């Protein structure tokens, strides 16, 4: 397995919709394993392929997010291929939401309280499940990535503009030093 480089804002590829995965081959399975390793290394709970520079509809998440009280294996990933939200209901605020691709910023984001997701697993088997609470937030956040949407696109224009200015200043300072 290999650690992958996380792509960060303002990289333009993060705002591009991802391509559907047509064939689940050894390359896709290796990408999923590498994404899982990268996600855990970066202390994330979810990671979408565009965040590692791959324009494919693949996401991984920490299996413990489904049942935080479970004392199961510490590092187990679940992969979803070509996931889509087919139903959504309710309303909640994802407090202090963050993203590995949006450096040094967190914000409250309005999300659905419950979503129904359709996808394929790593073996190509179709699946459908309901997610609520934290799992609903993860699904919406990661599927947004696959659609070219960052969580900062879902906050107020003022907060988004302030973050963009701060981030561009950071990048300029990094270039100078």
pLDDT of amino acid 76: 87
95 is an active site residue: no
Q: Average pLDDT per run of 10 along the chain, which is 177 residues long?
A: 93 97 97 96 95 98 75 79 98 95 96 98 96 95 98 96 94 86
pLDDT of amino acid 75: 74
Q: Give the sign of the dihedral formed by CA 148, CA 85, CA 152, CA 100.
A: negative
Domains and CATH numbers, the chain: 12-176 (3.90.45.10)
Listed residue (67, 61, 104) closest to 81, CA to CA: 61
pLDDT of amino acid 47: 98
Give the DSSP H/E element, type plus range, for residue 166: helix 157-176
Written as six digits, the tokens of 48 are 């979408």
pLDDT of amino acid 72: 59
pTM metric for this prediction: 0.93
What is the C-alpha to C-alpha distance for residues 109 and 101, in angstroms, rounded to an integer? 16
Written as six digits, the tokens of 20 are 């559907």
What is the C-alpha to C-alpha distance for residues 71 and 54, in angstroms, rounded to an integer? 32
Residues in Cβ contact with 160 at an 8 Å cutoff, skipping those fewer than 6 apart: 152, 153
3-state secondary structure (DSSP) of residue 53: coil
pLDDT of amino acid 174: 87
What is the C-alpha to C-alpha distance for residues 133 and 109, in angstroms, rounded to an integer? 13
Q: How many residues does the chain have?
A: 177
Selecting among 37, 113, 142, 174, the annotated active-site residue is 142
pLDDT of amino acid 64: 81
């Amino acid at each position: 397995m290999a650690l992958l480089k996380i792509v960060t804002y303002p990289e333009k590829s993060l705002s591009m919709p991802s391509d559907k995965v047509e064939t689940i081959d050894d390359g896709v399975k290796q990408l999923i394993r590498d994404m899982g390793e990268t996600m855990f290394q970066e202390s994330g709970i979810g990671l979408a392929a565009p965040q590692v520079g791959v324009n494919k509809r693949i996401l991984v998440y920490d299996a413990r997010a489904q049942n935080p009280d479970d004392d199961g294996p510490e590092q187990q990933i679940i992969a979803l291929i070509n996931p889509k939200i087919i139903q959504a209901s309710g309303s909640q605020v994802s407090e202090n939401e963050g993203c590995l691709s949006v450096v040094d910023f967190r914000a409250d984001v309005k999300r659905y309280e419950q979503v129904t997701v359709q996808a394929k697993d790593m073996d190509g088997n179709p699946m459908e499940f309901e997610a609520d609470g934290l799992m609903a937030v993860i699904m919406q956040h990661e599927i947004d990535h696959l659609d070219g949407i960052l969580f900062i696109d879902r906050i107020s224009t003022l907060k988004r503009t302030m973050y963009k200015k701060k981030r561009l200043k950071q990048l300029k300072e990094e270039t100078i030093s």
